[in-house]
Amino acid sequence: MNIAVVGAQWGDEGKGKLIDILSQDSDITVRYQGGNNAGHTVVVGEEEYIFHLLPSAILHNDKVCVIANGVVIDPQALICEIEELEKRNIKVTPRRLKISGHAHVVMPYHRILDRLRESKRKNKIGTTGRGIGPCYADKVTRCGIRTIDLLNFRILKSKLEDNVKEKNEIFYKVYGHHDFSFGDILKEYLRYGKKIGQYICDTALYLNEASNKRKSILFEGAQGTFLDIDFGTYPFVTSSNSIVGGVCSGSGIPPMKIDKVIAVVKAYTTRVGEGPFPTEFTTSLGEEIRTKGNEFGATTGRPRRCGWFDSVLVRYAVIINGASELAIMKLDVLDDLEKIKICTAYRYKGKIYRDFPLDFEVISEAKPMYEEMQGWQIPTHGIRRYNKLPVNARRYIERLESLLKVKVKYISIGSERDELIIR
């Protein structure tokens, strides 16, 4: 079976843990969009692993991991990630890691442009400054450099000459930034090509052949639905399609080969960076949840904004992703609360919105309408069966099922790999 796992909020939903568990029963795990602006954290015993580009299934020795064409790759970051794993005795061989030759490459000028552009903006986007957006922009304007180009001196030299000439003029005239050295970048990226060349192949062909042989494939989403470039809270979004539709364009797998979509949410809501957030806490509860849930970005370390569960938001994500199952993560973070709220609609200028609004002003200014439920105030750590959860915890989950019109299959009650209830 081929399964896609997508975030149904603003990213950081806990997809890494679920993917780590599901990948045990999958032959291949595929990352299909985003770059090293995303992060998955996986806890195994006393060890914590943070992944930015590599699928977390790399922790399983008998699994194949694919970084597909929809990903933009910073080769320096990727090499560091591979080397860090190998220091911890996890071998990353060409049999276990395959990188699409069509994946675009993050260049030094992409990272610099990302930061310079953000510094000039009156309304900050909240970019990680990793160069992801500018790299995707070059891809769309057809001047990007792909991983396969790092293995061909003539192609890389030709593309880079054009790019550096253009970028230097723009950077100097618009930002007053010094020139980039063509020779230094060429040497640096040829070195990267030698290091990652052994992994580069036609991953679309590989994945379709594997699917035809009945191999099971797990597609690992980065970020979340409301950071999607088309369906997110634009412009406070990422630069790729993080919804399930991105699987096909980002990996070369046709839609009919995706058998199941699992949407992942937290039992509450978080968001990193700028942008609208209707259910954001305005009291000290935000700091309490942030501390208990360790809500700090795996990639940047930035504190995450926290708020109540937003069923308007998540229901829209369930619809556009075609999710057939839901995973609720970090239920245990709510264990101590006497009362818990669920947003069931928005109100703006006297109008009630039960569907997620298109108008940015409405999303930004609307007031959430809440349904209040009794908390359970009983620790859920150590529970492994659904019927052993506190009654009010089950009522909360079942109310979410009713509002979202999708079954909750997985419930996480801690950060450890085995702290998961499967219904």
State the SS3 of the chain.
CCEEEEECCCCCCCHHHHHHHHHHHCCEEEECCECCCCCEEEEECCEEEEECCCCHHHHCCCCEEEECCCEEECHHHHHHHHHHHHHCCCCCCCCCEEEECCCEECCHHHHHHHHHHHHHCCCCCCCCCCCHHHHHHHHHCCCCCEHHHHHCHHHHHHHHHHHHHHHHHHHHHHHCCCCCCHHHHHHHHHHHHHHHHHHEECHHHHHHHHHHCCCCEEEECCCCHHHCCCCCCCCCCCCCCCCCHHHHHHHCCCHHHCCEEEEEEECCEEECCCCCCCCECCCCHHHHHHHHCCCECCCCCCECEEECEEHHHHHHHHHHHCCCEEEEECHHHHCCCCEEEEEEEEEECCEEECCCCCCHHHHHHCEEEEEEEECCCCCCCCCCCHHHCCHHHHHHHHHHHHHHCCEEEEEECCCECCCEEEC
Whose tokens are 């009010």? That residue is 392
pLDDT at 297: 74
Kindly give, in sequence order, each residue whose CB lies less than 8 Å from that of residue 89, ignoring residues fewer than 6 positions away: none
Which amino acid belongs to residue 34? G
pLDDT of residue 41: 75
pLDDT at 418 (0 to 100): 87
Residue with tokens 């309304």: 123
- Torsion, CA 79, CA 217, CA 244, CA 147, rounded to 10: 30
Tokens of 320: 């556009």
> What is the value of pTM for the model shown?
0.93
Residue for token digits 């006497």?
Answer: 338
Q: List the beta bridge partners of residue 351.
A: 348
The total number of residues shown for the chain amounts to: 423
Radius of gyration of the chain (CA): 22
pLDDT of res. 217: 98
pLDDT at 247: 98
Q: What contacts 46, CB < 8 A, 6 or more positions away? A: none
Nearest partner of 8 among 365, 383, 420, 325, judged by Cα: 325
- As annotated, the active-site residues are 12, 40
For the sheet with 97-100, list strands across it: 200-201, 97-100, 64-67, 28-31, 217-220, 3-7, 260-266, 325-329, 407-412, 420-422
In terms of Cβ atoms closer than 10 Å to its own Cβ (0-12, 13-18, 19+), residue 156 is buried
Angle between helices 182-196 and 153-170 (to 10 degrees): 140
What is residue 129's predicted lDDT score, i.e. its pLDDT?
A: 81
Model pLDDT, residue 50: 84
Q: Buried b / exposed e across 341-376, counting CB within 10 Å, b at 16+?
A: bbbbbbebeeeebeebbeeeebbeebebbbeeeebb
**Which of these, 30, 58, 2, lies nearest to 221 by C-alpha position?**
30
Report how far apart, in Å, the C-alpha atoms of 1 and of each of 26, 32, 205 are.
8, 18, 18
Q: What is the pLDDT tens value at each position of the chain, 423 positions in all?
A: 999 999 999 999 999 889 989 999 999 999 999 999 877 777 777 788 888 999 988 988 899 999 999 999 999 999 999 999 999 999 999 999 999 999 999 999 999 988 888 777 777 776 778 899 999 999 999 999 999 999 999 999 999 999 999 999 988 888 888 889 999 999 999 999 999 999 999 999 999 999 999 999 999 988 999 999 999 999 999 999 999 999 999 999 999 999 999 999 999 999 988 899 999 998 889 999 999 999 987 666 789 999 999 999 999 999 999 999 999 999 999 999 999 999 999 999 999 999 999 999 999 999 999 999 999 999 998 899 999 999 999 999 999 999 999 999 999 999 888 899 999
**Which residues on adjacent β-strands are paired with residue 3?**
218, 260
